């Protein structure tokens, strides 16, 4: 098992003299969580140096994670990534695209309270994440061969997950896809929901991502000058439009014209809903027809984190706009329901 420590609250401990929270050397993890010694497999650790708060996560860190996993892919049966909770859903989504044909578990976890605190949620999250990453079917194949987030008794598909609470231990939710496992006295896997990888296809790590993406959230009374400014930001290549309900937008003439102009200039426009649960259904209401006519593509039931990182991944590969549109319309690794 390879444990990759990127940073975040989980890896902090209270300095007994000052009371301040500080990152601790992760080689000491066995001292901090002695329970790990009771696993009967070897756990190796790789630490980001320095560990980072996940608000500082960038594209280069995703590429570094892919590199560490690719370099160690044949040596380890599973990978657990310790990550700050704030941007964990973005990293999980990005990795799901960057680790193509993944056949081994990659489980991200973290905590709301540092592992050195008495009431920490980090120990349970870490121990169970390791157990899930190590879980095997009778034939020896991994039970969960995909990128997931494990947090507070729930295993969720990484690219379906959103952070929904800044305080409570129950901080993540997968609104549009069933949990892959629930944890109580037993770990109950939802086998039907877990991806079945095609083992005949080789694992293919990807390192190219591009961040020229912007998010436009609609609201009643939104001004043309704002929409125009966002759609004309130099270098931006894709816009995730967070619309109302099932993918609806104001029927203003100028709004459609701005979108049509952006589409003509080759900008990729993707429609996702502001609602946490449910899907975009373009054409269901007449308020979504102008979007369709302007060339906006549906993001279906994609989370914002997933729509953004999927576009970053596809843009990074410099694919032609029409091909990116087609791939946005395709389910690449369980990220949308069509």
Cα–Cα distance for residue pair 214/86, rounded to 1 Å: 19
Residue 263: strand, helix, or coil: helix
Q: How far is the CB of 277 from ligand ASP (least distance, A)?
A: 23
For ligand ASP, the closer CB: 115 or 239: 115
Check residue 142 and report its DSSP letter.
B
Whether the CB-CB separation of 159 and 331 falls below 8 Å is answered with no
Distances (CA, A) of 78 to 43, 146, 197, 221, 272: 10, 10, 15, 49, 33
Token pair for residue 269?
């426009």
For ligand ASP, the closer CB: 89 or 147: 89
For ligand ASP, the closer CB: 147 or 280: 147
CB-count exposure of residue 19 (10 Å: 0-12, 13-18, 19+): exposed
Q: Please pick, among 9, 128, 161, 273, the residue that the annotation labels catalytic.
A: 9
Q: Which residues bind ligand ASP (CB under 6 A)?
A: 7-9, 53-55, 84-86, 110, 112
Cα–Cα distance for residue pair 298/163, rounded to 1 Å: 23
Q: How far is the CB of 136 from ligand ASP (least distance, A)?
A: 30
For ligand ASP, the closer CB: 127 or 135: 127
Token pair for residue 186?
């037993």
Cα–Cα distance for residue pair 152/168, rounded to 1 Å: 10
For ligand ASP, the closer CB: 57 or 69: 57
User: Is 9 designated active site?
Assistant: yes
Q: How far is the CB of 46 from ligand ASP (least distance, A)?
A: 18
Q: How far is the CB of 57 from ligand ASP (least distance, A)?
A: 8
Q: How far is the CB of 163 from ligand ASP (least distance, A)?
A: 9
By beta carbon distance, the residue nearest ligand ASP is: 84
Cα–Cα distance for residue pair 215/199, rounded to 1 Å: 36
Residue 191: strand, helix, or coil: helix
Placement of tokens 């007994």 in the chain: 16
Among all residues, which ones are annotated catalytic?
9
């Amino acid at each position: 098992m390879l444990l990759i420590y990127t940073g975040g609250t989980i890896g902090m401990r209270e300095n007994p003299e000052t009371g301040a929270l500080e990152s601790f050397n992760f080689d000491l993890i066995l001292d901090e969580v002695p329970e790990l010694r009771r696993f009967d497999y070897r756990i190796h650790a790789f630490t980001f140096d320095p560990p980072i708060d996940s608000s500082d996560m960038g594209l280069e860190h995703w590429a570094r994670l892919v590199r560490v996993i690719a370099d160690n892919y044949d040596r380890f049966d599973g990978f657990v990534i310790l990550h700050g909770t704030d941007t964990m859903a973005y990293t999980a989504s990005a990795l799901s695209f960057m680790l193509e044909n993944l056949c081994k578990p990659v489980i991200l976890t973290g905590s709301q309270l540092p592992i050195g605190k008495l009431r920490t949620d980090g120990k349970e999250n870490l121990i169970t994440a390791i157990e899930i990453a190590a879980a095997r079917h009778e034939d020896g194949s991994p039970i969960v061969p995909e990128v997931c987030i494990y947090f507070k008794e729930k295993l969720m598909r990484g690219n379906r997950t959103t952070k929904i609470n800044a305080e409570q231990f129950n901080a993540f939710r997968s609104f549009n896809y069933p949990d892959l496992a629930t944890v109580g006295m037993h770990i109950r896997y939802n086998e039907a929901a877990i991806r079945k990888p095609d083992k005949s296809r080789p694992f293919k790590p990807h390192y190219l991502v591009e961040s020229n993406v912007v998010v436009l959230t609609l609201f009643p009374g939104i001004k043309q000058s704002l929409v125009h400014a966002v759609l004309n930001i130099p270098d931006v290549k894709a816009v995730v439009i967070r619309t109302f309900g099932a993918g609806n937008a104001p029927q203003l003439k100028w709004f459609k014209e701005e979108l049509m102009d952006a589409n003509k200039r080759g900008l990729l426009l993707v429609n996702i809903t502001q609602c946490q649960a449910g899907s975009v259904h373009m054409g269901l209401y007449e308020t979504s027809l102008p979007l369709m006519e302007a060339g906006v593509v549906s993001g279906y039931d994609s989370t914002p984190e997933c729509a953004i990182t999927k576009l970053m991944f596809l843009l990074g590969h410099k694919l032609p706009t029409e091909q990116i549109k087609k791939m946005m319309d395709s389910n690449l690794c369980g990220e949308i329901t069509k």
